[in-house]
Structure 1
Amino acid sequence: MTISTIKEQNSAYSMTRVTTTLRLRDILRTLPREVFEKNRRKAWTVVLVNILMVGLGYGGLAIAPWFCLPLLWIFTGTALTGFFVIGHDCGHRSFANRRWVNNLVGHLAFLPLLYPFHSWRILHNHHHTHTNKLGEDNAWQPFTIEYYASHPIVVKLFYQLTRGRLWWIGSMFHWALLHFNWGNFQGKQRSQVKFSALLVIGFAAVAFPLLFATVGVWGVIKFWLLPWVVYHFWMSTFTIVHHTAPDIPFTPEPEWNEAEAQLFGSVHCDYPRWIEFLCHDINVHIPHHISSAIPSYNLRLAHRILKENWGDELRECRFSWSLMKQITDQCHLYSQQECYQSFKDYRKAMAGGK
């Protein structure tokens, strides 16, 4: 199913929800208490399975012939993405009841990915608070036409790359540019972010010399760099699909409705089952935006219940290269009238205005 199909399915409802006021608490009341319940056995089973899968991937990389390496890089990088999902639950405090357990497991899960836990947690929670709010959301928010036009060519080219066929590098830039600068945070958050960033830097300062000394340059590429690139491919892909479709608006604050943004601005995407297994159902995304307190192992149950109430009004699709082509061909610049304007249409409009 492509986004055009989703648009057809939702067009009728999009006309009616303009005149209705939906409240988030009304949606939450439709979900049973059990979807919010943390299960210690399930949570730690997820951790154990993830460690085993990552170990299996690295074991395969150590002994497999060269022609098997690409498949093993994909497998290992996808399994590493599972570590991120565990840390993701910790950041939302949906892994354990005790804050120190969430912080400890979150930092440990993020360390192999070189991701500072607290900076990600704070910025990601900001995304949940301001989902699809123009000027506030920090997850794949499109440039407005005026903002794009006001920037030099270098910035435009960079933006075009991450909104086009190189969308999969977007997560790398997000990681590098936003998560190590604790000066962008205030008060207690600044000290938390500084701790997480220095922990990652210290870990890298020890780990990389050891890797170079033991496995050499090719070993670092083979065992760390390429699985890490695959991890960022999935991070970029998952997150751009979560809230991007030709008819999903980024709404100015005066018009923004929290419930509509979370329920109808989030996309459920089905990936191959092995990806869903390794990444712990992170792409069952709509209930996660209704409440980030729902643990990952309860997301499918919550989604089924939301479907009973809203059915075809929810946005659902299946991952495919045609889906990514549609997003990267159309969803470029924010247009108040049409949600998105492509770079191609923007250039035509600029040429026509001269």
Structure 2
Amino acid sequence: MSTTTLSNRGTKEKIPSKNLTTIDTYGNTFKVPDYTIKDILSAIPKHCYERSLLYSLHFVARDIIAMSIISYVGHRFIPQVEFAGYEQLSTLVRGALWFGQSYLMGLFGFGLWILAHECGHGAFSDYQNVNDVVGWVLHSYLIVPYFSWKFSHAKHHKATGHLTKDMVFIPYTKEEFVEKSGFDKVSDIMEDSPIWSFTVLVFQQLAGLQTYLLINATGQSYEGYSKIGKSHYTPSSPVFDKNQWWYIVLSDIGILLAFTGVYQWYKIFGFHAMLINWFLPWCWVNHWLVFVTFLQHTDPTMPHYRDSEWTFARGAAATIDRDYGFIGQHIFHDIIETHVLHHYVSRIPFYNAREASAAIREVMGEHYRYEGENMWFSLWKCMRMCQFVDDDKDDSKGVMMFRNVNGVGPVKPKD
């Protein structure tokens, strides 16, 4: 059945095709879900929507206290590490311990980022003004423009998996991938070497967030705008609505205040204290954000949709839950393990998300995606296998699956 429209009081409502199937990157049959968002929402227990300001604030306090304790212990004991007669060894061990301190602080720093993200969705508490103040402070400290992110991220949730309306991690189509490469067809493109994939991966993990915020990298292309013109820091960016102008300015003010605070930190306590307690943990937060979000929206089993076949229910299902063990559940506030639910209902607080996730899995059935393999392996696999999307000109009618030129997986792209 092809896509049709029905008249409803003078307007037209898109009715997507039913019973669509295509082939994923592994060569397995992918069935497009046909259930509705109403089916999903009706399965979630009402108490899962309940939010507690005090309970949410205690997680903010917990993460800040954890970072403070890690910093205190590190600065108290690491300088005392000394191996008599082995100065170089002492220096190496102290360096490794300082690195470990920054890593641990970065874990809880990303926990704070997730709590600010909850604020942006209104899942933190019933009081949106409180949510915005807490979110603005936490995100600004982590050099993320709070309102800018909140507005663009809301659009991402409204159009997840939509090739022309989603806001981040927009894959190339086969045609775009070929045009970018400078060749005439896919089969002429040389395989990417593992070294090249690794180089791209390192850049993505270290600079992916900031290039997205600064120039909208991996986001939608906007004709007629410069890279800075579509930045999250530019109030007139096409990413935002005109009535959001002053909120973007307020976001920028938060960033400037954060940089001012960091500079004062450096002047009072010195470069080393600023490096270990803020800059390196901040780098880790940047890494974790890209690591987590990339793997939530990229997998060889996962589709993207052209407008004709996209629905909110299908787009939200084009996400995947993964497992990061103790860190994922207790420090990253279950953002990895319950992300599919989060895309269906983002206002459910993370501490109720596991119960709500179990409920919607009963409706989703085979369309629920979970991958329990090591996430570092998944990162490498997705980088090699998920280079562009294509519908292979079959009966999928705009259901786009990942393909690659590396011959990874049984499905090879057609010319």
Shorter-normalised TM range: 0.7 to 0.9
How many angstroms does 1:179 deviate by?
2.2
2:294 corresponds in structure 1 to 240
1:342 correspondence with 2:404: yes
Change (3 A) 1:300 1:223: same
Measured in 1, the distance between the counterparts of 2:245 and 2:255 equals 15
**C-alpha separation between the residues in 1 aligned to 2:404 and 2:70?**
39
Distance of 2:310 and 2:251 partners within structure 1? 33
Match of 1:57 in 2: 70
Partner of 1:131: 160
Give the AA of the match of 1:171: L
Q: How far does the alpha carbon of each residue in 1:223-260 deviate from its partner, in whole angstroms, 9 at most, with x for none?
A: 22211111111100110111111131211111112112
1:1-354 paired onto structure 2 within 5 Å: 11=28, 14-15=30-31, 17=32, 21-65=34-78, 66=94, 67-151=96-180, 164-169=201-206, 170-177=208-215, 178-184=231-237, 185-204=240-259, 206-262=260-316, 264-283=317-336, 284-318=338-372, 319-337=374-392, 339-344=401-406
Q: Secondary structure at the match of 1:136?
A: coil
Give the 3 Å change call, closer, same or farther, for CA 341–309 of structure 1 in structure 2. closer
SS of the aligned residue for 2:406 comes to helix
- Separation in structure 1 between the aligned mates of residue 178 and residue 253 of structure 2, nearest angstrom: 37
Query: Equivalent residue for 2:225?
Result: none
Query: Using the alignment, how far apart are the partners of 2:402 and 2:25 within structure 1?
Result: 16
Normalised by the length of structure 2, the TM-score is 0.73
Q: 1:35 to 1:163 in 2, by over 3 A?
A: farther
Q: Which amino acid aligns with 1:52?
A: I
Q: Considering only CA atoms, is the larger Rg found in Structure 1 or Structure 2? A: 2
Query: 3-state DSSP class of the match of 1:334?
Result: strand
Deviation at 1:107, TM superposition (A): 0.6
Contact 1:10 1:313 (C-alpha < 8 Å) held by counterparts: no
Letter in 2 for 1:320: M
Quote the Cα distance in structure 1 between the aligned partners of 2:116 and 2:352.
16
SS in 2 for 1:138: coil
* Residue 112 to residue 59, structure 1, CA distance change in 2 (3 Å): farther
How much has 1:330 moved relative to structure 2?
0.8
1:162/1:190 Cα in 2 relative to 1: closer, same or farther (>3 Å)?
A: farther
Cα distance between partner residues in 2 of 1:304 and 1:344: 37
Structure 2: distance between partners of 1:59 and 1:217: 17
Query: SS at 2:99's partner residue?
Result: helix
In the TM superposition, residue 163 of structure 1 has moved relative to its aligned partner by 5.7
The TM-score, its normalising length taken from structure 1, stands at 0.85
More helix by share: 1
Quick check: 1:35–1:294 contact (8 Å CA) kept in 2? yes
Q: Aligned AA for 1:342? A: N
Task: State the alpha-carbon separation in 2 of the partners of residues 277 and 62 from structure 1.
Answer: 25
Q: 1:117 to 1:90 in 2, by over 3 A?
A: same
The 1:64–1:147 alpha-carbon spacing in structure 2 relative to 1, beyond 3 Å, is farther
Q: Once the 2 structures are TM-superposed, how far is the Cα of residue 195 of structure 1 from its aligned partner?
A: 1.1
1:9 is displaced (CA, Å) by: 11
Deviates more, 1:49-58 or 1:276-285: 49-58
CA 1:162/1:277 → structure 2, altered by over 3 Å: closer, same or farther?
farther
Q: Sort the Cα spacing of 1:329 and 1:301 in 2 relative to 1 into closer, same or farther, 3 A.
A: same
1:196-230 deviation digits (Å, cap 9, x = unpaired): 112211331x2132122123333332222211111
CA distance in 2, matches of 1:336, 1:60: 55
Displacement after TM superposition at 1:162 (Å): 8.2
Paired residues of 1:42 and 1:297 also in contact (CA < 8 A): no
Structure 2 distance, partners of 1:163, 1:63, is 38
The aligned counterpart of 1:3 is: none
Give 2:5's aligned residue. none
Query: CA offset at residue 160 of structure 1?
Result: 6.8
The 2-side partners of 1:162 and 1:186 are apart by 36
Give the fraction of aligned pairs with identical amino acids, expressed as a percent.
21
Contact 1:165 1:328 in 2 (8 A): no
Q: Once the 2 structures are TM-superposed, how far is the Cα of residue 149 of structure 1 from its aligned partner?
A: 4.1
The amino acid that maps onto 2:323 is D
Q: Please provide the CA RMSD for this pair.
A: 2.8
Within 1, Cα distance between the matches of 2:197 and 2:244? 32
How far apart are the structure 2 equivalents of 1:145 and 1:308?
Answer: 35
CA change 1:36–1:189 in 2 (3 A) is same
